Structure 1
Amino acid sequence: MKEVQEILALAIPQPAMGDQLQLAEADNVSVPDCLDYSLQRFVYERPLPVEDVAMVVYQPAKRGKSAAIELRYCVAGNKYCQKTNCTDKVCMEGHKHEDCNTKLPSVDMITVRFQPAFIQSLQKGNTSFSLFELQSKKPFVKTIQPCTKSKAVLEQMVHHNYEGILKNIFLQSKALELLLFSSDQFIQNDTDERYGCRFLTHLEDREKIEKARSILLEQLDAPITIRDLARRVAMNECYLKKGFKAVFGTTIYDYFQKERMEKAKGLLYERGLSVSEVAIMMGYSCISHFSTAFKKHTGLKPCELLLR
């Protein structure tokens, strides 16, 4: 679940929107001595901005085991009619069903984890093997934008009619294509160019940034200083500020205020609490300060929202 939340935070700019997702389909396949494949398909009814994103997760070799590589993808797609008695020929043949009456927009989470033994077999006899910097002794996560070829492969992996051993062969062949395409992107699109932060290539630092975000969301009613936040996640203040903005696209303060006002909006509009009650719950000692902050975020005064 943690892996899903991590990539969703990149794919959906506004975390609160992730609550709209409903799990509609799941599939897990293990190809012996090769890879593990999983698909989680989420559907939603209201418009949801989704940015296609991919992550390369690397774990170094340890205790005699080869390095492990995991490819994670979050892409926008469609869930089509699966009824066996459907009279739509396009649906029945399993092609792209653009006119399907039951089509729903979806967010597809696809993970391919290559088993260490398989990676080791690729390395045999290749002294110059440099796929995903496999000589690195530290784990890291690198984020890339899925290329057109990768997204075409992902579409095929989600919509196919193979079963049994043929399904294993099909998924293995497509996973190798993803490995090839992502390797090309890995070399061409360095994380420093995307984030401007070399330290974010390491998994432990990405986890600290995510932990900082979780702390903010857990205490929206109690503002925390950046110094205290940095201390709680054991990270340098400068790195924390730079890394947070690189990952979430906004400053720590702006992110906190946005989520704080969204929660206040829900308390006012959905629960019908008074302005003074919500101001106190959000940690404001002065109602006018709360009203100013609320209007800056929503464009409305808290009392105007109550009248709607």
Structure 2
Amino acid sequence: MKEVQEILSLAIPQPALSDQLQLAEADTVSVPDCLDYNLQRYVYERPLPVEDVAMVVYQPAKRGQAAAIELRYCVAGNKYCKNPNCTDQVCAGGHKKDDCNEKLPSVDMITVRFQPAFIQSLQKGNTSSTLFEMQSRKPFVKTIQLCTKSKAVLEQMVHNNYEGVLRNIFLQSKSLELLLFSSDQFIQNDPDERYGCRFLTQMEDRGKIEKARSILLEQLDAPITIRELARRVAMNECYLKKGFKAMFGTTIYDYFQKERMEKAKGLLYEKGLSVSEVAIMMGYSCISHFSTAFKKHTGLKPCELLLR
């Protein structure tokens, strides 16, 4: 899912590490005429550098329809005993949460999407400038700081014992709290705070960066110049380089080389191809150049990997 990968790339800057995540549980609740709530909890065995991230996604009003607001969160936590009555504060097995033997670090991704009709009802009768107008006619995404109050609310939403109508009421009330806290952050924080690139608050420009990455991955055997890459995604070269590093934490060249060598490693180790065959498949005319690049990335020469 594109939205999940997008926020994961911020919470876990090293793309390869996100592959270690395993989906442990998922939950979806739709509150009629109000909002849709979605939770995806991932666990991992090895330590991961997870950073809490919050995003506001805005879709402008269309003909006959109000603007839409979506709040996305990625927060680090812990999954404790498998007993469904366990929460992050209380263990049904009688353990204190810090002593739980089954404790696993987790990454919780929570999405709250407010339905346009509900947003419209909140704006009714309000003639002053509001959060929902966003002073923009274009859709965009803004990353904001996740405040302590929002983290507390998210924890309550993930761990609650309400059912049926009461659960809908609870989730609606907590979602409005998140919207309130997010509006404070939205007004106070500068769009450059996370990325250092104002233009990346626009979904259109972020989409171009994503497209550039897809092009790189599609042709790992055929290096492409930044000028050509910029032309294909219709973006200024400087913006492309700056935006790519801001979103993926590395330069275009380093990202391409890393993915290129990872593919080469798979061809050598898993497919059993020869060094010369892999070098040619990866677009190298000189085997020694391929060997040098491979060792720089993996710490081993291609022939040494084959001996393992």
- Assess same fold via TM > 0.5: yes
User: What are the within-5 Å matches in structure 2 for residues 15-164 of structure 1?
Assistant: 15-83=15-83, 90-92=90-92, 97-131=97-131, 133-164=133-164
Partner of 1:225: 225
In the TM superposition, 1:141-290 aligns within 5 A as 141-290=141-290
Q: 1:114 deviation in Å?
A: 0.8
Q: Check whether the contact 2:15–2:248 (CA below 8 A) recurs between aligned residues.
A: no
Residues 67, 134 of structure 1: 8 Å contact kept:
no
Q: Following TM superposition, by how much is the alpha carbon of 1:18 offset from its aligned partner in structure 2, in angstroms?
A: 2.5
Structure 1 residue 31: Cα displacement = 1.1
Contact 2:67–2:132, Cα closer than 8 Å, also in 1? no
Query: AA paired with 2:245?
Result: K
> What is the TM-score normalised by the length of structure 2?
0.90
Deviation per residue, 1:108-144 (Å, 9 max, x gap): 1110001112212222233223315534211101112
Structure 1 residue 56: deviation in Å? 0.7
Letter in 2 for 1:278: V
CA distance in 1, matches of 2:247, 2:210: 9
Alpha-carbon distance change, 122 to 95 in structure 1, aligned in 2, over 3 angstroms: farther
Distance, in Å, in 2 between the alignment partners of 1:272 and 1:95 is 49
Structure 1 residue 95 displacement after superposition:
10
Q: CA deviation at 1:12?
A: 2.0
Quick one: structure 1 residues 194 and 250, their matched pair in 2 at CA, closer, same or farther if it must change by over 3 Å?
same
Q: 1:84 to 1:3 in 2, by over 3 A?
A: closer
- Answer with 212-221 or 108-117: which moved more: 212-221
Measure, in 1, the Cα distance between the counterparts of 2:42 and 2:245.
27
Instruction: Give the TM-score of the pair, scaled to structure 1.
Output: 0.90
Please tell me whether the aligned partners of residues 81 and 93 of structure 2 are also in contact (alpha carbons under 8 angstroms).
Answer: no
CA gap of 1:132–1:278, structure 2 versus 1, over 3 A, is: farther
- Judging changes above 3 Å, is the alpha-carbon distance between structure 1 residues 65 and 99 closer, same or farther for their aligned structure 2 residues? same
Q: Which consecutive residues of structure 1, in runs of 5 or more, have no partner in the other structure? A: none
SS at match of 1:91: coil
Query: C-alpha deviations, 1:16-46, integer Å up to 9, x for none?
Result: 2322222221111111221110011122223
Q: In 2, are the aligned partners of 1:28 and 1:36 still within 8 Å (CA)?
A: yes
Higher alpha-carbon deviation: 55-64 or 239-248: 239-248
SS of the aligned residue for 2:154 comes to helix
Amino acid corresponding to residue 102 of structure 1 in structure 2: E
**Whole-angstrom distance in 1 between the partners of 2:234 and 2:96:** 48
Question: Relative to structure 1, is the Cα distance of residues 222 and 77 closer, same or farther in structure 2, using a 3 angstrom cutoff?
Answer: same
SS in 2 for 1:25: strand
Indicate the SS of the match to 1:223: coil
Q: 1:223 to 1:149 in 2, by over 3 A?
A: same
Offset of residue 271 of structure 1: 4.2
Shift in alpha-carbon separation, 1:99–1:287, aligned structure 2, 3 A? same
Change (3 A) 1:160 1:300: same
- Alignment partner of 2:100: what SS? coil
8 Å Cα contact 1:39/1:110 also seen in 2:
yes
| Aligned-partner Cα distance in 1 for 2:280–2:208 | 30
Go from structure 1 to structure 2 and tell me whether the alpha carbon gap of 1:41 and 1:149 turns closer, same or farther (over 3 Å shift): same
Q: Residue 92 of structure 1: SS of its match in structure 2?
A: coil
SS at match of 2:74: strand
- Please give the secondary structure, in 2, of the residue aligned with 1:108: strand
Q: Describe the SS at the equivalent of 1:13.
A: coil
C-alpha distance in structure 2 between counterparts of 1:94 and 1:158, whole Å: 21
CA distance change for structure 1 residues 244 and 76 in 2, over 3 Å: closer, same or farther? same
Please say if residues 275 and 302 of structure 1, whose CA atoms lie closer than 8 Å, have aligned partners that are also in contact: yes
Which moved further from structure 2: 120-129 or 218-227? Answer: 120-129
* Paired letter, 1:126: N
Is 1:293 the equivalent of 2:293? yes
Instruction: Show structure 1 runs of 4+ deviating over 6 A.
Output: 93-96
- Aligned with 1:98: secondary structure? helix
